[in-house]
Amino acid sequence: MTTSSSAFSRRHCAVAGALLSAALVLPPVSAASATAPETDPPATAPAVTEPDASAPAATPEAGSAAAAGSAITLSADSAIAGGPLTVAYATDQPDAQNWIGIYRENVTPGDSPSVIWQYTPDASGEAAFTLDLEPGTYDVWYLAEGGYTPLADRLTLTVTADPNAPEPLEPGDPNAPVDIDPVATDLSTDGVLLRAGFADGSLPEGWSTTFEASGSGADRYAGWQPTTRADWSATTDRMRDRFGRTDRGFLVADAAQFGDAPFAAALTSAPVDVSQLDAVRLTFDSHYRGAAGQSGVVLASFDGAAPIEVLRLDSTSVTDDYDGMQLNAAQDVTIDTPARAKSVVFSWEFTGGDGAQYWGIDSVAVHQAQAATDAEPTQAWVVSDIQGHPGDLAHGIEDFARLSPDAEGLLMVGDIVASGTVGEWQEVIDVMDASADIRPPKTVAGMGNHERYASGGFDANFQRFLSFADRDRAWDEYVLEGPAGDLPVIVLGQEMASPSDVPMTDAQVEFLEERLAHWTAQGSQVVVMTHFPLGNTVSASWLPWYSSHHQHNQRLTSILGNYPNAVVLSGHTHYPAELGDWAMQRRTADGHPDGFWAVNTLAMHIEWDARGENTAGATEVTTRDVNRGLTLDSYGDRIVITAHDFAADTQLRQVTIPNPLVGFAAELAPDSERDADYSAVDAALGTVPAELGAYTPESAAAVRAAVDAVERDLTADRQAEVTAMADAIVAAVAGLVPASTDPGPGAGTDGPGTGTTAPGAGDASRAGDAAAAELERTGSAGAAGLWAGALALLSAGAALVLTRRGRRGRAADTGSIAE
């Protein structure tokens, strides 16, 4: 046991935190330790202060004069990390704000914060601490009246490692190879009619460009030209480097770097088949910086008709010079197709005069428009970056309960607390307990950086997070069960203190690989939660340092790039929904052409944004206080994510992410506005023999009649007539009777023949031969053959009802061959 008693002189020292909101001062804690940050937290976090940051600091000459009647005693001079420590105290100067603080060795109180502290308001008593500290040497101080005046000599405490602690985890190999075949999708599942990229610098087949300029400029920027992110921004950046959606090449129309005006460049697509569709959807990655007199226009021409404008970017729709909604963005336009349209051609036209800037595009896709659904969704609430604002969390939960009261899960994507102290976690737990009746039954929590700022080292903070998350590791899988079926949620997270912000074991990365493959085999979309975004995904992550937060950044990106059914939810950036890359598709060089989806979860506390013309030297600034979150609705064939502002009670944005692994239900045109399906007719025509002269005139005439009865260009509301045409041809071909080579009774009716005309066939036979020749030449029996065949059938006692062409104002009769 060690005792101490002394008095100290005073030295004034002010300790101030850089705050963006009012400082959070922890209340007195009874029978539990309070903690202060081990390091200064980011500016978004409220400082966790000691009792009085303005009080005088203790002097180094700690033991020069004892204070009569004041002493502290430690239950042990040495203790195990994570274990208990009791400090007995007694004083003849009791005060409600007397306190005991544990400091790192040789730190003078007031110069730096304590690592653990607790009020000791009585004349005597005991303060119980849990030593969530890293192994090392510490000083224990007994201090007066919420300040830094010592009441007793400092005592030395040695904290040792727990000998029974498990072996430390080893970080995995970020360069481990990724050997995954991209998921296979096709038109029947993803509804994509055309994909066009420009990775190799050449135009896809059937595409073309035109360019007009009054003078001469830089050839490499003459019209629409291929480039890469690095090449495009090599000479001048001016926000060009923010276009970070792909690892591959793309096209740009850059009037500024061309260097002459006026500038007029056009890019035209190959025709795209839009038969049967009521609407068609065009999407493409877009990086547009506006200027006065500049425009970027997308046109659509159906079946060669005059083009119609489907998208216009100019000073009326885009804020000149800087518009965050148009940088690193994706354009998504749905166009109604004209009745019975067969094809569409799109074109991109960029024009500008003096001062014009640029437009970059990539990953053009033309989709079938997805039909609406009336299914009941499986739902979830999504929040992140609460950071010590439990009131904002409580407000958001109340709004969520009104927006989607039947949600199955609450997804908390990290930075739930400000620094990770016991008191901060208790504030969040209090909110959760108070809202238990309206919250979803499942809570899925991910660890952020703010969960590990409190003193005591990573392990102590990590354990407090795991206790809240109710699991024993950083990563796991949850399944939300709802009306639209199961929605798997995989949560990833930091497992050890270093390296990088999110070090992971190989086991965690391999778990992600295995579960993605499992759920993909089930045809399911998969939600992946990670607090830190992967580099070059959502807003802000085009900044270089966001690519180094994840130790396995490239490995994870490569894995996910094979799964277009993966939807990654990430927080941390605090960037607004009103940016072009709030939700985006991240494509990789060797993955699926659609890549994976990434969505920014916004923030419940403080909004940030980037400033600066160039990526090199760009800064991030706070812009305002916010309270925002997402709702997620999974319908089985799509996920719909909606961004909400709880402070303003408004819906901000929405994105629909189709499931490319299940049958795609296209929005078809009304039957009266689309062509009937003639595939059965075409198949039946393919069975008609080339030489009908080898069959009896009667049976050959029946085939010719059925063929000539085919009426093209009917609409789908007359599909039954088209089906009857196919059936008539099939029946007639089945009824063909080979002509006999042996004249006599029954000739032409008992088996294969050589084409010899039977006695008595006369003119009908000759008319049949003429019709056969006409069929071989034109594919139609012709009127003469039709009537001759009819006469032949009537002479044999058969009944034939003819169908005459009745399209566009002519009468149409339908008929069938009677058995």
Cα separation, 266 vs 139, whole angstroms: 73
Evaluate whether 246 touches 285 at the Cβ level (below 8 Å).
Answer: yes
Cα separation, 516 vs 498, whole angstroms: 26
Write out the two tokens for 686.
């393919």
The CA dihedral of 661, 665, 667, 672, to the nearest 10 degrees, is 140
Prior bond of 262 cis (ω within 30°)? yes
What is the pLDDT, as a whole number, of residue 67?
A: 57
Contacts of 77 (CB under 8 A, 6+ apart): 2, 155, 156, 157, 158
For 173, 285, 581, 717, 746, the CA distances from 537, given in Å and listed in that order, are 22, 13, 8, 46, 81
The DSSP-derived string for 571-635 is -SS---SSSTTSEEEEB-TTS-TT-EEEEE---SS-EEEEE-SSSTT-EEEEEE---EEEEEEE-
3-state secondary structure of 456: coil
Spell out the domain ranges in the chain.
3-160, 187-368, 378-658, 675-795
Contacts of 78 (CB under 8 A, 6+ apart): 157, 158, 159, 160
Contacts of 752 (CB under 8 A, 6+ apart): 738
pTM for the full predicted model: 0.76
Three state DSSP letters for 765-799: HHHHHHHHHHHHHHCCCHHHHHHHHHHHHHHCCCC
What's the chain's length in residues?
819
Q: Which of 770, 1, 24, 85 is nearest to 419 (CA)?
A: 24
For residue 104, list its beta bridge partners.
138
Cα separation, 195 vs 211, whole angstroms: 24
Contacts of 101 (CB under 8 A, 6+ apart): 50, 109, 114, 116, 117, 140, 141, 143
Prior bond of 499 cis (ω within 30°)? yes
CATH class of 187-368: mainly beta
Cα separation, 226 vs 230, whole angstroms: 12
The CA dihedral of 232, 234, 239, 244, to the nearest 10 degrees, is 60
CATH architecture of 378-658: 4-Layer Sandwich (3.60)
Q: Which of 736, 740, 738 is nearest to 756 (CA)?
A: 740
Hey, how many other C-beta atoms are within 10 angstroms of the C-beta on 394? 15
Q: Tell me the longest C-alpha to C-alpha distance in the chain.
A: 143
Residue 687 phi, psi (nearest 5): -95, -5
Phi-psi region of 551 (alpha: psi -120 to 50; beta: other; left: phi over 0): alpha
Contacts of 164 (CB under 8 A, 6+ apart): none
Residue 817 phi, psi (nearest 5): -90, 120
Which parts of the chain register pLDDT below 50? 1-49, 53-54, 56, 59-66, 742-819
Write out the two tokens for 666.
């296209």
Cα separation, 159 vs 162, whole angstroms: 9
For 218, 225, 260, 733, the CA distances from 214, given in Å and listed in that order, are 13, 18, 8, 66
Evaluate whether 696 touches 791 at the Cβ level (below 8 Å).
Answer: no
The CA dihedral of 194, 200, 205, 211, to the nearest 10 degrees, is 100
For residue 407, list its beta bridge partners.
none
Write out the two tokens for 549.
């937060």
Evaluate whether 646 touches 627 at the Cβ level (below 8 Å).
Answer: yes
Residue type at 58 in one-letter notation: A
Phi-psi region of 526 (alpha: psi -120 to 50; beta: other; left: phi over 0): beta
What is the pLDDT, as a whole number, of residue 260?
A: 82
What is the pLDDT, as a whole number, of residue 50?
A: 55
Evaluate whether 193 touches 272 at the Cβ level (below 8 Å).
Answer: yes
Cα separation, 505 vs 489, whole angstroms: 19
Hey, how many other C-beta atoms are within 10 angstroms of the C-beta on 489? 23
CATH number for 3-160 (one of 2.60.40.1180, 3.30.450.20, 3.40.50.720, 2.60.40.2840): it is 2.60.40.2840
Alpha helices in 168-283 (DSSP H): 187-190, 229-232, 255-258
Q: Using only C-alpha atoms, what is the Rg of the chain?
A: 38
Contacts of 803 (CB under 8 A, 6+ apart): 709, 711, 725, 812, 813, 814, 815
How do beta strands 3-4 and 295-302 pair? unpaired
Contacts of 552 (CB under 8 A, 6+ apart): 172, 174, 502, 504, 509
